[in-house]
Structure 1
Amino acid sequence: MPRRTRIINDPSELVPLLQTFQSKEHKQVFNALTAEWMTKSQLDEVMGFDVEESLNILKRCGLLEIQWRMPKPGEKPEKEYHSSYSKAQANFQCSFEDLSEIITLTFTPYEEIKDLIRDLEREVENGNHSMSSLTRSLNRSPLYVRSLARRSDRLTVMGQRLKMNEEDK
């Protein structure tokens, strides 16, 4: 089956990708899913650890395809997973200052930026979805706000707007 190329147009998209592949466990799960479709229970068995967090992160990054496996008679259907991309192509330009800010934000421990993430989530929950309005209220650059939103499990970047994830409503 031909593999697809992930085109990265926004430098903030690097945040979840770099976070994912800095973890040995997440990378192992991704590599296993490049070879074949597998269910969570199959992955748990092959990896030797619970892969729930890895699947959530890979899904959030847009690196997973998910479908229902046809069960044998009398069994329940199960979701199965496969990696959707085998290559990446970066197509953006930014200053080194912005790039260094993104990389720093990516690898900063969550505890050190949780207050900023909570402030951003609170703003979006209160109806402030516009990137220009959020940058003014948080006194940060649009790239920083998008990158910060990509660190949050509760926010989704939709062009020049942020929204709360459906399961968090």
Structure 2
Amino acid sequence: MVSRIKVVNDPGELVSIFHAADSEVKRKLLLDLSTGWITLPVIEQKYGKEGRRALLYLDKIKMIETQWITGQNGPEKAYHTYYTNVQINIMGSLSELADIIYAATLSDEQLSEYEDKIKAMMKNGEGVFLGDVSDSLGISQTLIRGIVKRSSILEIRGYKIELVSGAE
């Protein structure tokens, strides 16, 4: 087995790492994915809808890899963790750290409210600029990055926040 290390250099990426296993389903799924290749039907059977959402989140934060395997019904896409270790090496201001901790500890309801506000700013399904969201909501770009890193339906591409393909 190849040993791969996920190196975290950006304080905002801590939010993703903290939430990779923030529920019992995510934790168990992450452990299952670290021990072998698992297909989506198996994940859905074992973990239900929450397992599918957890898989989408792990894919969004680039913690899993895919390959095609031959199953009973022909070729199926299977998933496995990409990294075997995580190394955290960050430095940031206290205000950045405060925003990251706040984003990491938001309740699901608070996160959903922020997601709804950001989605409402999107016109015709197109992304919205990070700076525009910051100005509109009156919060720092660091906090917005943390919220988006935590979200399973939003992602940052360049300077824009967009919906994850396949989300909702």
TM-score band, normalised by shorter chain: 0.7 to 0.9
The alpha-carbon distance between structure 1 residues 34 and 168, as it changes in their structure 2 partners (threshold 3 A), is closer
Higher Rg of the two aligned structures: 1
Identical columns (%):
24
TM-score (norm 2): 0.80
Deviation at 1:4, TM superposition (A): 1.1
- Equivalent-residue separation in structure 2 for 1:71 and 1:84 (angstroms): 21
For the pair 1:106 / 2:119, whether they are aligned, the reply is no
TM-score (norm 1): 0.80
| Aligned twin of 1:146 | 145
Whole-Å separation in 2 of the counterparts to 1:168 and 1:150: 14
Question: Matches of residues 1-169 of structure 1 in structure 2 within 5 Å?
Answer: 1-43=1-43, 48-50=46-48, 51-71=51-71, 75-125=73-123, 129-168=128-167
Query: Once structures 1 and 2 are overlaid, which stretch shifts more, 87-96 or 77-86?
Result: 87-96
Question: What is the CA-CA distance between 1:31 and the residue it aligns to?
Answer: 1.8
RMSD: 2.6
- Report the count of equivalent residues: 165
1:113/1:34 Cα in 2 relative to 1: closer, same or farther (>3 Å)?
closer
Structure 1 unaligned spans of 5+: none
> What amino acid is aligned across from residue 78 of structure 1 in structure 2?
E
State the Cα distance separating 1:70 from its structure 2 match.
2.3
Q: Offset of 1:134 from its aligned partner?
A: 2.5
Superposed displacement of residue 90, structure 1: 2.6
User: Does the CA-based 8 Å contact 1:125-1:164 persist in structure 2?
Assistant: no
Q: Is the 8 A contact 1:6 1:85 kept in 2?
A: yes
State the shift of 1:129 in Å. Answer: 2.8
1:96-132 C-alpha deviation (Å, 9 max, x unpaired): 3322322222222121343332112222346563222
Q: CA deviation at 1:42?
A: 4.4
Matched-pair contact (CA < 8 Å) for 2:127–2:163: no
CA distance in 2, matches of 1:113, 1:28: 23
- Report how far residue 143 of structure 1 moved: 0.6
Unaligned runs of 5+ in 2: none
- SS of residue matched to 1:153: coil
Secondary structure of the structure 2 residue equivalent to 1:120: helix
- Asked if the contact 1:12–1:102 (Cα under 8 Å) also holds between the matched residues in 2, the reply is yes
Where does structure 1 differ by over 6 angstroms across 4 or more consecutive aligned residues? none
Q: CA deviation at 1:84?
A: 0.3
Q: Which amino acid aligns with 1:23?
A: S
